[in-house]
């Protein structure tokens, strides 16, 4: 289904909510269907454009992923996608993400953190599914919805919570905040406030990996970079420019689209001429995959292949994860924006509008209920128990452990000191000579007022 057919349907019935994927929603973790992931689109597009481009190069990349994953799908038996250890690791990571974000909401409304805070509830499967497959040296680049990416990558909950409280013990010394989580140790390259601006940075990190292997001759350098971003970003120039460069130079990067259908109040369908984002991959010469982002095991399977491709030097992949955020865009967003009346064509009559509002309200309520029923954590829990990979007790123990971790993080953040004035000028320049030479002939950074943070720059 594409935008045109949706528009054609507008006058007769409500928007269909999920035009992109015919994935089975009822039993997400049982018998994954071979046809669900690719919809044949990657192959069709390859054939139409192969005449213009280097057939050898393109066919090698496009066919590989779909073939390999398709084979895996038909060969795998439903209940052995993961081991017990893996299952518990995935569960713990998702619970940590959920509990942490819930605590953030509480803390925000209690006035412990301010500004724009964007929560990840509902999307945990994407972060866990991808990031748990990475090594420490692999890089992750995120957006402003980055708390859970940070936690999955290994940044301690304490450091993230402190950062949110603006304390000096935060991962960025309190200077970044919710939208700028960085960790050199864990190779989390941000945290970006403007959408799209992290994607080139991720492309650069992937470039470094390739450079290290080919120029610096660090033969075993196979570091992969994951770039996470949303559906709104996929209409931004930086997205397309980087798809081009990554495919051109076969950079070891995976572009992960967290398509939660909404950019604040702008529905993906209203903003995008062709809402099927994964189709844009083959246009640039890389495989485009669509996956059910509410199903951590499906995400993990796709991620394994995409990351593997990048590690082997076969180039980038575009993965579109269909997911949903249970909360509003940010804590400042009352989430009334996903409201019934906002999509109506102004030329409709009042009667039409009333009818549509009713249908729309019903359909939006249905949308939220639909995805709530596909809560990735509930689904994984069900899978683990039904397949005897873990008991209720095991999972409850994890829940309890995570509760303690999050409580501890809040306590730690509460007790941590706020940054002192002297921190103000400390990290503006890596080399503080950049502040220049003062009237007295000395470098200004040598002025004691500078270290006190009271100097005028």
Partner 1 sequence: MAAIFQGVGAAAALSSSPSNSFDSKKFVSSPCRSFSVRKGASFAVVRSDGRVNLNPKSRRAQQLISNAVATKSDSAAASSSSKPGHELLLFEALQEGLEEEMERDPHVCVMGEDVGHYGGSYKVTKGLAKKFGDLRVLDTPIAENSFTGMGIGAAMTGLRPVVEGMNMGFLLLAFNQISNNCGMLHYTSGGQFTIPIVIRGPGGVGRQLGAEHSQRLESYLQSIPGIQMVACSTPYNAKGLMKAAIRSENPVILFEHVLLYNLKERIPDEDYICNLEEAEMVRPGEHVTILTYSRMRYHVMQAAKTLVNKGYDPEIIDIRSLKPFDLYTIGNSVKKTHHVLIVEECMRTGGVGASLTAAITENFNDYLDAPIMCLSSQDVPTPYAGTLEEVTIVQPAQIVKAVEQLCQ
Instruction: Name the one residue in this structure whose structure tokens are 């209690």.
Output: 110
Q: Name which of 286, 291, 295 is nearest 375 in CA terms.
A: 295
> Using CA atoms, how far apart are residues 281 and 306, in angstroms rounded to an integer?
13
> Using CA atoms, how far apart are residues 264 and 270, in angstroms rounded to an integer?
12
Q: Determine which residue in the list 90, 140, 226, 245 makes contact with partner 1, applying CB under 8 A.
A: 245
- C-beta of 447: minimal distance to partner 1 in Å? 12
Is residue 292 within 8 A of residue 298, CB to CB? The reply is yes
- C-beta of 193: minimal distance to partner 1 in Å? 7
Helical pair 296-311 and 376-386, crossing angle rounded to 10 deg: 100
- C-beta of 165: minimal distance to partner 1 in Å? 14
Q: Determine which residue in the list 362, 392, 436, 449 makes contact with partner 1, applying CB under 8 A.
A: 436
Q: Which is nearer to partner 1, 189 or 377 (CB)?
A: 189
Is residue 282 within 8 A of residue 274, CB to CB? The reply is no
Give the interface segment with partner 1, choosing from 17-25, 55-63, 369-377, 423-431 (CB under 8 A).
423-431
> Using CA atoms, how far apart are residues 341 and 25, in angstroms rounded to an integer?
27
Size of the site for partner 1 (CB under 8 A): 63
Instruction: Give yes or no for residue 449 binding partner 1 (CB under 8 A).
Output: no
6 contact partners, CB below 8 Å, separation of at least 6: 15, 16, 19, 269
> Using CA atoms, how far apart are residues 324 and 374, in angstroms rounded to an integer?
9
Give the interface segment with partner 1, choosing from 29-37, 268-276, 378-386, 429-437 (CB under 8 A).
429-437
- C-beta of 323: minimal distance to partner 1 in Å? 25
Q: Which is nearer to partner 1, 199 or 234 (CB)?
A: 199
- C-beta of 305: minimal distance to partner 1 in Å? 24
Beta strand spans in 92-179 (E): 139-141
CA distances from 23 to 44, 112, 294, 299, 448 (A): 20, 41, 11, 13, 64
Q: Which is nearer to partner 1, 87 or 191 (CB)?
A: 191
> Using CA atoms, how far apart are residues 285 and 438, in angstroms rounded to an integer?
53
Backbone angles phi, psi at 87, to 5 degrees: -60, -45
- C-beta of 42: minimal distance to partner 1 in Å? 23
Q: Which is nearer to partner 1, 211 or 326 (CB)?
A: 211
- C-beta of 244: minimal distance to partner 1 in Å? 6
Binding positions for partner 1, 82-121, rule CB under 8 A: none
Tokens representing 56 are 């050898």
Give the interface segment with partner 1, choosing from 99-107, 114-122, 173-181, 406-414 (CB under 8 A).
173-181
Binding positions for partner 1, 266-285, rule CB under 8 A: none
Handedness of CA 408, 410, 414, 418 (dihedral sign): positive
Instruction: Give yes or no for residue 426 binding partner 1 (CB under 8 A).
Output: yes
Q: Which is nearer to partner 1, 35 or 427 (CB)?
A: 427
Neighbouring C-beta atoms of residue 290, cutoff 10 Å: 27
- C-beta of 215: minimal distance to partner 1 in Å? 5
Is residue 449 within 8 A of residue 438, CB to CB? The reply is no
Instruction: Give yes or no for residue 346 binding partner 1 (CB under 8 A).
Output: no
> Using CA atoms, how far apart are residues 319 and 130, in angstroms rounded to an integer?
11
Q: Which is nearer to partner 1, 15 or 207 (CB)?
A: 207
Site string for partner 1, 125-164 (x = CB under 8 A): --------------x-x-----------------------
Site string for partner 1, 174-213 (x = CB under 8 A): xxxx--x-xxx----xxxxxx--x-xxxxxxxxxxxxxx-
Is residue 309 within 8 A of residue 69, CB to CB? The reply is no
Q: Determine which residue in the list 35, 74, 135, 429 makes contact with partner 1, applying CB under 8 A.
A: 429
Q: Which is nearer to partner 1, 197 or 399 (CB)?
A: 197
Q: Which long-range contacts (CB under 8 A, 24 or more apart) does 18-22 make?
A: 18/322, 18/370, 19/269, 19/275, 20/275, 20/276, 20/290, 20/320, 20/322, 21/290, 21/292, 21/322
- C-beta of 266: minimal distance to partner 1 in Å? 20
Q: Which is nearer to partner 1, 11 or 427 (CB)?
A: 427
Q: Determine which residue in the list 56, 273, 430, 448 makes contact with partner 1, applying CB under 8 A.
A: 430
Site string for partner 1, 219-238 (x = CB under 8 A): ------------------xx
Contacts with partner 1, residue ranges (CB under 8 A): 139, 141, 170-177, 180, 182-184, 189-194, 197, 199-212, 214-216, 237-238, 241-242, 244-245, 248, 426-431, 433-444
């Amino acid at each position: 289904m594409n935008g045109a057919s949706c528009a054609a349907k507008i006058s007769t019935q409500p928007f269909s909510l999920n035009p992109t994927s015919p994935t089975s929603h009822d039993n997400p973790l049982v018998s994954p269907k071979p046809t669900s992931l690719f919809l044949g689109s990657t192959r069709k597009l390859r054939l139409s454009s192969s005449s213009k481009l280097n057939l050898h190069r393109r066919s090698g990349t496009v066919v590989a992923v779909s073939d390999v994953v398709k084979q895996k799908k038909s060969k795998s038996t439903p209940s052995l996608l993961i081991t017990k250890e893996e299952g518990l690791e995935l569960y713990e990571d998702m619970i940590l993400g959920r509990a942490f974000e819930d605590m953030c909401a509480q803390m925000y409304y209690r006035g412990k953190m301010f500004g724009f805070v964007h929560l990840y509830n509902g999307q945990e499967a994407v972060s866990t599914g991808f990031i748990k497959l990475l090594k420490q040296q692999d890089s992750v680049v995120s957006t402003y919805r980055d708390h859970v990416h940070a936690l999955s990558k290994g940044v301690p909950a304490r450091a993230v919570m402190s950062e949110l409280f603006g304390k000096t013990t935060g991962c960025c010394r309190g200077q970044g905040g919710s939208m700028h989580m960085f960790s050199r140790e864990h190779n989390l390259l941000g945290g970006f406030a403007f959408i799209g601006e992290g994607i080139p940075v991720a492309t650069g990190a992937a470039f470094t990996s390739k450079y290290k292997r080919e120029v610096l001759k660090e033969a075993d350098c196979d570091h992969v970079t994951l770039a996470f971003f949303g559906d709104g970003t996929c209409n931004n120039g930086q997205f397309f420019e980087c798809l081009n460069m990554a495919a051109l130079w076969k950079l070891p990067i995976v572009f992960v689209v967290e398509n939660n259908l909404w950019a604040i109040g702008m529905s993906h369908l209203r903003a995008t001429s062709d809402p099927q984002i994964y189709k844009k991959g083959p246009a640039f010469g890389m495989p485009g995959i669509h996956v059910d982002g509410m199903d951590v095991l499906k995400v993990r399977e796709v991620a394994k292949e995409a990351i593997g491709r990048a590690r082997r030097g076969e180039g980038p992949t575009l993965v579109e994860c269909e997911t949903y955020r249970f909360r509003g865009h940010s804590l400042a967003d009352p989430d009334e924006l996903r409201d019934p009346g906002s999509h109506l064509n102004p030329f409709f009559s009042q009667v039409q509008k009333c009818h549509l509002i009713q249908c729309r309200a019903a359909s939006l309520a249905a949308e939220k209920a639909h995805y709530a029923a596909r809560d990735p954590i509930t689904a994984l829990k069900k899978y683990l128990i039904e397949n005897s990979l873990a008991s209720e007790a095991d999972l409850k123990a994890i829940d309890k452990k995570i509760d303690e971790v999050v409580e501890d993080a809040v306590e730690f953040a509460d007790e941590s000191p706020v940054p002192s004035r002297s921190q103000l000028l400390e990290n503006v320049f890596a080399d503080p000579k950049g502040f220049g030479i003062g009237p007295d002939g000395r470098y200004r950074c040598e002025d004691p007022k500078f270290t006190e943070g009271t100097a005028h720059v």
